Structure 1
Amino acid sequence: MPRTGYVYVPSPSRENLAVGLRHNLWGWRSSALDRAGARDAVGQLAEGDFLVLGHRGPNSRVKPGGWSDATLKRVIVAEVTAPLFTASEQVWLDDVYPERLGISVVSEEAEIPGKDLGAEAMECLRLSANKQGAAVLVSGVGGVATMAARLPEEGEGVADGVVEHTGEMNTFAKVLVRREQQKLRRKKFGSQPTELTCAFCERVLPPRMVRAAHIKRRSVANREEQLNLSNITAACLIGCDELFEHGYIFVNDGGFIEAGSQADVTEDLKQAATNVAGRAVKDYNDASAPFFAWHREHIAH
């Protein structure tokens, strides 16, 4: 059964939170995990489990259940990408925080009332606040599931081309990613476009046939990169999205499409890649170039 760790991040740790999200990491001082089995709890979190970070809540010195109706200024849901490990490289400015988890943010919401996380999750965050930010562990994904069920959709509908490849991501995580993708899609393409142009083949298509795709994969991007509109491009569902996703086509450092060597697997696949090769990519500019370079180096090889 998957597990969820809940960590409270107080107001003075706002910059540390930003740094952690920038590096896809969360860390603790060893002294914080030396108490009452805290290290054992964090050590049980495995790849694919959830870490929920609650930021800026009320006074935690209240009776059990006292946070059930509270509101958190920020709630960040992340998946664990690397189980507990130690490192001495200084990432945060004020301390090393050597005991760390690798994380990838799934969702970030503001002004979340307790009912949108559920009583158990809010109590775990209250307990974490009283334990110097040590993780409080529960079996299952109750708080994440509650958020996924309660938060409203942000987009047009299921078949609007918004959801990018999410691999083996938990079902509830996919719901939360979808909500965020809907927000980014609206910022990138407008709220109600009547048609969209694929950045690769330049076909003009109904919006539901064009995906708002991350150039550098969302799963490995840090939080700033996930939300950067220059890391999002329009990729049609007729073929360009899959060709680009799997590295059958890539964008060179001049902004032109090339067919990847991986496309040589079959003649038909090679032809599909060749059909768009040589075109200038609509979204290529100084801001998007580093993301296309990442794709070229890590996906297309």
Structure 2
Amino acid sequence: MPRTSYIYVPAPSKENLEIGLNAGLWGWRSSALDRAGARNVVQSLLEGDFLILGHRGPNSRVAPGGWANAVLQRVVVAQISRPLFQATDLVWPDDTYPERIGIDVLDEEINVTGASLGADAMEALRLSANKQGAAVVTAGVSSVASLVTELPPVRDQREPAGDLDHDGDTNAVAQVLIRREQQKLRRALIGSRTTTTCGFCGRTFPSRLIRAAHIKRRSQATRQERLNMSNVIPACLMGCDELFEHGYIYVEGDGTIAASLSSSATSDLKQIAEALVGRTVGDFGTHRAEFFRWHREHAINTGT
């Protein structure tokens, strides 16, 4: 079973937090891990374990349990993508922080209360704050599950119930958080419109039949690319989303749709794909061109 680690990030480290999230990394000075068994704790973290980063909470010099009703201005939930390793390339401006873990950000929330995260999680973050950002690890993922349950909903009835990239994480809790991220992107893309036009076929449908689809797959994108609206396109559930997701159609450098060789697998599939060939994708421009280039080079279905 995955475990959960907690790291508190103080207010002066806001820039380092943002840099680390964008780079998919978190790091410590070697001297920080040499104290009080901190290295053994971090070395115990495995790929797939959860990480909760708490930022900008109250004074941590309070009695145990003193954060139970506190508010954290920012909480980031991630998974470990690479266990502890050493590297000296420059990532953060103020120091090397050579002791590093790779992280995959799943969700970010603001003004998270102790009631949402749970008393045990808040105490772990308070302890981390008093240990200069050392990791505090607990068994299981109950605090992450609690947060998922307590967060206000993002989804509305205009949204497809299964709005999740096909290559999403297999962990159920992680899937919920990834879906929440995509629901936020969908809200930014579609808003409160009751109807939306598909970027591929150009047909207009009730918004519940439109998915906010990543052009460059989420699993291959950086955090910045995942949240970049130029990497998100409205794709209808009447066929376009699946055709593009599975690489039966792709977009040329001039913005026109083409069919891959594997779209000829059956006569019906060929007919559907060829009906889109030559159309110009909606809102195509230089801001989307690089993401479509990635799809052409990595996601086209060759049928092999």
1:268 CA drift (Å): 4.4
Deviations 1:49-107 (A, max 9, x none): 21111001111122211111111010000122222222221111111212222222111
Query: Do the aligned partners of residues 298 and 44 (structure 1) sit closer, same or farther apart at CA in structure 2, a change above 3 Å counting?
Result: farther
Secondary structure, counterpart of 1:211 in structure 2: strand
Alignment match, 2:12: 12
1:132 CA drift (Å): 1.8
The alignment-based identity, stated in percent, is 59
Deviations 1:99-135 (A, max 9, x none): 2222221110101111110011111111111222121
Instruction: Structure 1: give runs of 5+ residues left out of the alignment.
Output: none
CA distance in 2, matches of 1:80, 1:42: 11
Q: Is the 8 A contact 1:73 1:111 kept in 2?
A: yes
Q: Is the 8 A contact 1:41 1:135 kept in 2?
A: yes
Alignment match, 2:212: 212
1:177 CA drift (Å): 2.7
1:1-301 map, 5 Å: 1-157=1-157, 159-160=160-161, 162-165=163-166, 167-191=168-192, 193-263=193-263, 265-300=265-300
Amino acid at match of 1:188: L
Secondary structure, counterpart of 2:74 in structure 1: strand
Q: Is the 8 A contact 2:198 2:234 kept in 1?
A: yes
1:15 CA drift (Å): 0.5
CA distance in 2, matches of 1:261, 1:81: 34
Deviations 1:116-162 (A, max 9, x none): 10011111111111222121111111111011000121221474564
CA distance in 1, matches of 2:163, 2:30: 41
1:270 CA drift (Å): 4.2
1:300 CA drift (Å): 2.5
Amino acid at match of 2:240: C
What's the TM-score once normalised by structure 2's chain length?
A: 0.91
Q: Is the 8 A contact 2:210 2:237 kept in 1?
A: yes
Q: Is the 8 A contact 1:3 1:49 kept in 2?
A: yes
CA distance in 2, matches of 1:167, 1:186: 19
What's the TM-score once normalised by structure 1's chain length?
A: 0.92
Secondary structure, counterpart of 1:226 in structure 2: helix
Secondary structure, counterpart of 1:219 in structure 2: helix
Aligned Cα RMSD in Å? 2.0
Mean Cα deviation higher: 88-97 or 222-231: 222-231
Deviations 1:225-271 (A, max 9, x none): 22221111011112221221222222121111122344455554444
